Amino acid sequence: QSDRVLPRNLRQSGDPGIQMLVSTRVRKSPFFDKSFNEEGAWRATVYNRTYHPRGLVEPEDGGAMAEYEALTEKVTLWDVAVERQIRVKGPDAEALTDYVITRDATEIESMHGKYVILCNEDGGILNDPILLRVADDEFWFSISDSTLMQWLQGVNVGEEFDVEIDEIDVAPMQIQGPLSEDVMQEVVGEEVSEIPYYGLMDAEINGCDVLVSQTGFSGEKGFEVYVKDAMENAERVWDPVLETVKDHGGRQIAPGHHRRIAAGILSWGQDMDHETSPFQVNLGYQVPDDKDGDYIGKEALERQKEQIESGEYPFNLKLVGLKMAGEPIRDYAPDFWIVSDPDTGEECGYMTSPWWNPDLETNIGLGFVPAEKLQNETDAKLDDEIYEEDLDIEFEVHLPEEYAEEEN
């Protein structure tokens, strides 16, 4: 972990079977009662300081893989109010947004969105939200699991853009799966089919104003419904949406991390964080060659890009996709499992997101491995190009006993 100032905790402590304490220090989303008390979510994590359901189907009934089946074959509803909405609004909203994201905010039209990253001055990824431009002078950052509002406010202390920066009472839900468009047509009308990918549409559900986008975290066809005035309206929107999902053979599930891993969708905090460069995790395309405006991290990222293009990769570790033997991994990993080089026996990296893939009939996952070993196997540059290669390189993943085919 020589790339890092704060190392990952790689002690393999497993799951101690502890109970989560529910208190007022962590927020309950507007969908909390629906998810936990009505739909029977049986476990939670904390995401953006909000309780987040991460299990709806009990293990004895198929657990997460039964949820995977509903997602890939039918349609599912997700409680993702943890994607807190940070609004930047005012005459300088575009200017501030353009200054804090690596991509060009001036190219985003009103009522459209884009997947973006925000970096610190060293080029480390602070957040990777879906950015929604709901008006010429208003942007919503639908954030991943890291605090962003205070950082944006702090940036503006020195820059003094003419904007308001605050969290707003908007809570999103996701409708994901092959039948998601059918559900949305019934809920908001056939015009929803005209929304382009990352497009937005104002709509009304059960008398409540919502914003609909064609986005999601699954790799499947999907939409997000952003409920406005959520503390008052969330349940009124939730009920008809869930009823329609169930009418189509679907159900509420936890966010489909098993599916997003197969799709190569990254999770902030697991696969990247503030010490990770976009060039380490297949996000080099987020660093444009032709953005005229200045942005935070631009100097560092352009320097890294020049090094890579000249054949000098500036990091020791690189995130790649791996296939793994062993018993099927059908649930979240409680640790970053250690990776070793089979040629030397030395520990050299770690897994971030493993899971069983029923389509490939093998375990797959994302993990950090030595960039030098990758480079020795290919002529491709170690930015996004390497992901186009099918490299036949072996590593040893130290699976826990429950998944290992033989004792480590």
45: left (phi over 0), alpha (psi -120 to 50) or beta: beta
Yes or no: say if 307 and 314 are a contact pair by the CB < 8 Å rule.
Answer: yes
Burial class (CB in 10 A: 0-12, 13-18, 19+), 24: exposed
Residues 6+ apart with CB under 8 A from 398: 12, 337, 338, 339, 340, 408
Render the burial of 204-218: b for 16+ CB within 10 Å, e for the rest.
Answer: ebeebebbbbbbbbb
Would you state the structure tokens that stand for residue 16, as one six-digit string? Answer: 């101690």
Regarding beta strands 164-167 and 85-89, do their DSSP bridges make them parallel or antiparallel, or are they unpaired? antiparallel
CA dihedral 83, 88, 89, 95 (to 10 degrees): -140
14, 400 Cβ separation under 8 angstroms:
yes
3-state secondary structure 140-177: EEECCCCCCHHHHHHHHHHHCCCCEEEECCEEEEEEEC
Dihedral pair phi/psi, residue 382, rounded to 5°: -85, 45
The C-alpha atoms of residue 141 and residue 150 are separated, in whole angstroms, by 13
Closest CA to 151 of 182, 173, 189, 120: 120
Flag whether 306 is marked binding. Answer: no
Per DSSP, the three-state class of 316 is coil
Q: Between β-strands 251-252 and 76-79, what pairing exists: parallel, antiparallel or unpaired?
A: parallel
Q: Return d(Cα 247, Cα 59) in angstroms, integer.
A: 24
8 Å CB contact between 322 and 261: no
Residues of each annotated binding site: 224
Residues of each annotated binding site for substrate: 224
